[in-house]
């Protein structure tokens, strides 16, 4: 039964950046013609990387597994086109991570192209109210999600089968489907909801059955009226509810969605299941429905190519592994005043240094900003206005985190819950001093993770030493005990099941060259907390550490659009 709850629900705090959705909100999804080649990254998700399962010069058909891993928190990758594999090589993803790729050169004939491919992925019949979810056990749905390589398509890329798995300690009562797409400019989720609402509803029902939750609600921002109507219509006669939410950034954050719809607050550093909730993206739901009902793996996704710096912005259905450059070419190329290409949207995306980057499962869009949109403001000293603190949707204190980063002070960073930061960029957006708060916070996270890794290694070494000395005291048993004493590295389900804590591996999150606070940080001053209270004198952020800040649309435009 669909619900009409009005556009009143939202979370506390947040910002209203220019939406920028007008470029492609009305552009129907087009199928990209099969590219000459693709490169399938062997790590497109949170968790263990895959290893190639095919050798070079082998013939593969679209949908064949080309990489897999044994770890539970991982997801196989599949050939997105039919063709012949080439020798494994490497690429650098937009987040700075270097990963191996399996190249595939396209065959002359593809099993599905054009409209047939569209119908297979998004179109055709989806049963909705006739869907018999009881025909599948929870374990079967989890298994099919894993085999299909489904990960969170909203950008987090957390393996969906892990999320769908029922855990006896997690008392989940509600499943939320995230249809907010709050990131400015991007419209891929919006188009999926408009054009394939029944696949989303089917996926939501399958996920509901698999997680064992009692209730499923799709949350959509009010700036997507077509999607709201389409999903309400598709959900009629099913258990799926549709809730309209205020348009505000970052409404699509898991914790903000939970707060807005259920008025439950996930504790700092906690996860949705701590308050009985699981959250899945609408695109992921559609992919899950295809995996379970059509037995098709995740080989394609919808990508928005947009912005004033693109000649003909489009929403495209593309094979995983096609290069960004090819998508931009297909959209007519860059305009003369294009200034910056961003993987994702302007708030959370990564500025690209090269367009020779393959699309991954987590690629929701490419945004090209112009010189007018790329604000180049000089950084100044913190004026202690407190706006960043007032804005942070997670109630963090960005100024403290930034200072901790400048002084390489992991203790302060941990005390102020740096790892809870979701890097939404709201604080940096609102900062009148244009401080690179997100880059500094990322740096602090790197330091904290490095510190934790060091401590863990120390503890493990100590434990191994203790075991060795115990073994020495028992010479008849010692040899076998030493060998048996190291299983931990392979089996850590609890830690692996916490996406947010592992979501930003240090190297991914921090292009080292962007922020080098070490040079500024003077160790002897770290011990003087009173200095931390005077950021004006110390804060001289590096000029090169501003990609995200610069990628933001102008604030003056924001206020205009709000009016
Ligand atoms: S980037 Fe982090 S600290 Fe800044 S507003 Fe977002 S969650 Fe808060
Ligand atoms: S960091 Fe920026 S927003 Fe925060 S208090 Fe300082 S000047 Fe204000």
Question: Could you tell me what percent of the chain has a pLDDT over 90?
Answer: 70
Written as six digits, the tokens of 358 are: 């393959």
DSSP count for the chain of H helices, then E strands: 24, 18
- Are 183 and 324 within 8 A, CB to CB? no
Mutate to test the pocket of ligand 1, among 11, 438, 548 (most ligand atoms within 8 A of CB): 438
Q: In whole angstroms, what is the distance from residue 453 CA to residue 505 CA?
A: 12
Q: In whole angstroms, what is the distance from residue 477 CA to residue 283 CA?
A: 55
Q: In whole angstroms, what is the distance from residue 443 CA to residue 118 CA?
A: 42
Is 390 touching ligand 2 by the criterion CB < 6 Å?
Answer: no
**Ligand 2: centre distance to CA 388 (Å):** 6
Give the ligand at the shortest distance from the Cα of 388: 2
pLDDT at 522 over 80: no
Q: Where are the alpha helices (DSSP H) in 60-154?
A: 114-121, 138-147
Q: In whole angstroms, what is the distance from residue 463 CA to residue 456 CA?
A: 10
pLDDT digits (tens, 9 = 90+) for 151-160: 999 878 899 9
pLDDT of the residue at 518: 38
Is 383 touching ligand 2 by the criterion CB < 6 Å?
Answer: yes
Which tops the pLDDT comparison, 531 or 211? Answer: 211
**Ligand 2: centre distance to CA 270 (Å):** 26
Domain with CATH 3.40.50.11540 in the chain: 21-367
Q: In whole angstroms, what is the distance from residue 151 CA to residue 348 CA?
A: 19
pLDDT of the residue at 359: 96
pLDDT at 5 over 60: no
pLDDT at 500 over 80: no
- DSSP code for 34: P
Least confident of 137-146, 321-330, 447-456: 447-456
Is 500 touching ligand 1 by the criterion CB < 6 Å?
Answer: no
Strands (E), 338-485: 338-343, 350-351, 365-370
**Ligand 2: centre distance to CA 554 (Å):** 17
Least confident of 81-85, 113-117, 207-211, 523-527: 523-527
pLDDT at 514 over 80: no
pLDDT of the residue at 35: 97
Least confident of 25-39, 54-68, 215-229, 441-455: 441-455
Q: Give me the mean pLDDT over the 100-123 stretch.
A: 96
pLDDT of the residue at 7: 57
pLDDT of the residue at 379: 86
Written as six digits, the tokens of 340 are: 């910056």
First to last CA, the chain: 35
pLDDT of the residue at 474: 63
Written as six digits, the tokens of 364 are: 């929701």
Confirm or reject CATH 1.25.40.10 for domain 21-367, answering yes or no: no
pLDDT of the residue at 179: 96
pLDDT of the residue at 468: 81
Q: Per-residue confidence at 170, pLDDT binned at 50, 70, 90?
A: confident
pLDDT of the residue at 550: 40
Which tops the pLDDT comparison, 524 or 414? Answer: 414
- φ, ψ for residue 313, nearest 5 deg: -60, 140
Q: What is the mean pLDDT of the chain?
A: 84
pLDDT digits (tens, 9 = 90+) for 435-481: 999 999 999 999 999 988 888 888 888 888 888 877 766 654 444 43
The reply to whether omega before 279 is within 30° of 0 (cis) is no
pLDDT of the residue at 547: 37
Q: In whole angstroms, what is the distance from residue 365 CA to residue 343 CA?
A: 6
Which tops the pLDDT comparison, 373 or 368? Answer: 368
pLDDT at 524 over 50: no
pLDDT of the residue at 505: 34
Which tops the pLDDT comparison, 512 or 188? Answer: 188
Q: Nearest-CA neighbor of 299 among 150, 196, 86, 106?
A: 150
């Amino acid at each position: 039964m669909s619900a009409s709850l009005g556009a009143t629900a939202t979370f506390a705090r947040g910002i209203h950046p220019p939406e920028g959705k007008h470029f492609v909100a009305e552009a129907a999804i087009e199928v990209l013609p099969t590219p000459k080649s693709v490169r399938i990254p062997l790590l497109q998700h949170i968790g263990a990387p895959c290893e190639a399962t095919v050798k070079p010069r082998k013939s593969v058909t679209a949908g064949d597994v080309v990489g897999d891993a044994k770890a539970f928190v991982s997801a196989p990758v599949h050939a997105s086109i039919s063709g012949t594999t080439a020798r494994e090589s490497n690429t650098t993803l937009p987040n700075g991570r270097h990963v191996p790729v399996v190249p595939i050169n396209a065959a002359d004939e593809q099993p599905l192209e054009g409209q047939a491919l569209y119908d297979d992925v998004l179109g055709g019949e989806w049963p909705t109210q006739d869907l018999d979810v009881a025909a599948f056990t929870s374990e079967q749905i989890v298994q099919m999600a894993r085999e299909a390589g489904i990960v969170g398509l909203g950008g987090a890329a957390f393996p969906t089968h892990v999320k769908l798995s029922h855990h006896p300690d997690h008392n989940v009562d509600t499943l939320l489907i995230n249809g907010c797409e709050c990131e400015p400019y991007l419209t891929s989720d919006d188009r999926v909801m408009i054009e394939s609402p029944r696949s989303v509803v089917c996926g939501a029902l399958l996920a509901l059955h698999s997680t064992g939750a009692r209730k499923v609600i799709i949350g959509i921002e009010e700036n997507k009226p077509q999607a709201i109507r389409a999903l309400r219509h598709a959900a009629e006669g099913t258990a799926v509810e549709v809730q309209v939410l205020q348009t505000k950034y970052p409404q699509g954050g898991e914790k903000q969605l939970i707060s807005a719809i259920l008025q439950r607050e996930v504790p700092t550093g906690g996860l949705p299941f701590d308050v009985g909730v699981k959250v899945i993206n609408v695109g992921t739901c559609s992919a899950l429905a295809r995996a379970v009902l059509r037995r098709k793996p995740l080989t394609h996704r919808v990508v928005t190519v947009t912005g004033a710096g693109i000649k003909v912005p489009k929403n495209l259905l593309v094979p995983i592994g096609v290069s960004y450059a090819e998508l931009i070419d297909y959209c007519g190329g860059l305009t003369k005043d294009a200034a910056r290409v961003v993987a994702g949207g302007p708030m959370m995306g990564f500025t690209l240094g090269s367009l020779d980057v393959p699309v991954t499962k987590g690629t929701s869009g490419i945004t090209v900003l112009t010189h007018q949109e790329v604000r180049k403001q000089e950084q100044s000293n913190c004026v202690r206005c407190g706006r960043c603190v007032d804005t942070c949707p997670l109630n963090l204190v960005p100024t403290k985190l930034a200072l901790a980063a400048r002084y390489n002070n992991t203790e302060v960073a941990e005390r102020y819950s740096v790892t809870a930061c979701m890097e939404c960029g709201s604080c940096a957006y609102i900062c009148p001093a244009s401080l690179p708060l997100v880059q500094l916070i990322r740096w602090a996270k790197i330091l904290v993770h490095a510190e934790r890794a060091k401590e863990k290694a120390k503890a493990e070494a100590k434990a191994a030493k203790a075991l060795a000395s115990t073994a020495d005291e028992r010479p008849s048993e010692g040899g076998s005990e030493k060998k048996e004493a190291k299983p931990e590295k392979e089996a850590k389900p609890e830690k692996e099941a916490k996406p947010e804590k592992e979501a930003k591996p240090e190297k991914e999150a921090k292009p080292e060259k962007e922020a080098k606070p070490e040079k500024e940080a003077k160790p002897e001053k770290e011990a003087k907390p009173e200095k931390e209270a005077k950021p004006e004198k110390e804060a001289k952020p590096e000029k090169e550490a501003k990609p995200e800040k610069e990628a933001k649309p102008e604030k003056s435009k924001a206020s205009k659009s709000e009016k």
